[in-house]
Amino acid sequence: MNRLEVKGLKTYFFLDEGIVKAVDGVSLSIGDQETIGIIGESGSGKTVTALSLLRLVVPPGEIVSGNAILRRKDESYVDIFALEPQSDVLRSIRGNELSMIFQEPMTAFSPVHTIGSQIGEMVAQHTDLDSRTIRGHVVDLLHRVGISNPQQRYDEYPHQLSGGMRQRAMIAMALSCNPNIVFADEPTTALDVTIQAQILELMKDLQQDERLSVVYITHNMAVVAENTDRVYVMYLGRVVESTTTRRLFSSPLHPYTQRLLRSIPKPGHRVDKLEIIEGNVPIPIDPPVQCGFFPRCPVAIHGTCDKAVPALTQHEDGHFVRCFLYSEETEQEDEWTRI
């Protein structure tokens, strides 16, 4: 059994304008020490997927269906979505077993508390250690993520740290309670390439030392290509393709993935013009029951792709794709499909 098995996650936002189906039936599995990538453009639902798994979705958002079975540190199993929002069990999971590295360390940290006290607060929440031991532990963490002079940094405020240092502190915070799975939401997007390389290298080292599973949530194909074992490609709230990273980049199946990979400039393969995907990612307010990519898909089959949602089916061993070009199977409808 994998560390985490998610089945049929649906997270909807109930707005006055209509229902935004931000995540609409996502299933994924995360193995021990695996590195997973979730690729998608803005609005694809990749961040909401992670927030749902941490139960951080707030109204008007709501997890309407699905389950997520987590194998805990003590080898017991729990369905994260079945837990009460304020329950002790959920609190003991969040931060302690699942944690998240946020994109903007400047906004994710509180500006009026020191870095050290913010990380320490999390440790205090999950352990019975006294404050001096906690301080020692946090200083040690800051040192491990490559922050020089951690004793002094402990007492500094987020604005006193550079972007790269803040991101390191963020990583230290996420790892402070030895979680099993870390969701890294665009962990390097706001950073320069040289700092990005430092951070990704650090994540790799930590992952080996700490036996972590890491989920990279990003739109950066290159980061995914270099750092992950397996990839889920998301479009408009659904996983449209999933396979090993190597296979995805060598033989993508879904028309969206194929075009997405061709639309990024590749150093060393200079072309006159990049291939483009026409149009924009639609806003998923009351989306029609059809393939999400249908309006932009150049190989769409009219009368088929606009009539039903294709199911995610296995095309080859371990290579799943959601497209009528490969299978006629349609997604099973439930009470939420046509509301």
Partner 1 sequence: MNGQESKQARILEVKDITKFFPITKGFLRRVVGHVRAVDSVNLYVNEGETLALVGESGSGKTTLGRMIVRAIESTRGSILFRKDNETWVDLTRLKGNDLRAVRRYFHMIFQDPYSSLDPRMTVLDIVKEPLIHNKIAKGDEARERVREILKIVGLDDMHLRRYPHAFSGGQRQRIGIARSLVCNPRLIVCDEAVSALDVSIQAQVLNLLKDLQIQFGVSYLFIAHDLAVVEHIAHRVAVMYVGKVVELAETSELFGNPRHPYTEALLSAVPLPDPERKQSRIILRGELANPANPPSGCYFHPRCPYATDLCTRVTPQWREVAPEHFIACHHADTLSLKGMF
Among the residue ranges 45-53, 178-186, 213-221, 331-339, the one whose residues contact partner 1 (CB under 8 A): 213-221
124 to 163, contacts with partner 1 by CB under 8 A?
A: 162-163
User: In terms of CB distance, is 27 or 227 closer to partner 1?
Assistant: 227
Q: Does 4 bind partner 1 (CB under 8 A)?
A: no
Q: Which residues of 96-107 are buried (b: 16+ CB within 10 A; e: fewer)?
A: bbbbbbbbebbe
Alpha-carbon separation of residue 65 from 8, 12, 246 (angstroms)? 7, 9, 32
Q: Does 205 bind partner 1 (CB under 8 A)?
A: no
39 to 58, contacts with partner 1 by CB under 8 A?
A: 41-42
Among the residue ranges 117-125, 149-157, 219-227, 314-322, the one whose residues contact partner 1 (CB under 8 A): 219-227
The amino acid at 128 = D
Residues 226, 286, 329, 334: which binds partner 1 (CB under 8 A)? 226
Q: Does 196 bind partner 1 (CB under 8 A)?
A: yes
Among the residue ranges 86-94, 108-116, 132-140, 264-272, the one whose residues contact partner 1 (CB under 8 A): 264-272
Least distance to partner 1, CB of residue 260, Å: 6
The amino acid at 334 = D
Alpha-carbon separation of residue 75 from 78, 95, 97, 116 (angstroms)? 10, 17, 12, 31
* Displacement of CA 122 from its chain's centroid (Å): 21
User: In terms of CB distance, is 82 or 222 closer to partner 1?
Assistant: 222
Residues 107, 178, 251, 280: which binds partner 1 (CB under 8 A)? 280
Least distance to partner 1, CB of residue 299, Å: 16
285 to 314, contacts with partner 1 by CB under 8 A?
A: none
228 to 257, contacts with partner 1 by CB under 8 A?
A: 245-246, 249-250
User: In terms of CB distance, is 113 or 319 closer to partner 1?
Assistant: 319
The amino acid at 224 = V
User: In terms of CB distance, is 173 or 200 closer to partner 1?
Assistant: 200
Query: Which residue carries 């951690």 as its tokens?
Result: 150
User: In terms of CB distance, is 25 or 164 closer to partner 1?
Assistant: 164
Q: Does 277 bind partner 1 (CB under 8 A)?
A: yes
Least distance to partner 1, CB of residue 152, Å: 16
Residues that bind partner 1 (CB under 8 A): 41-42, 162-165, 192-198, 200-201, 219-223, 225-227, 245-246, 249-250, 259-261, 263-268, 270-278, 280-281
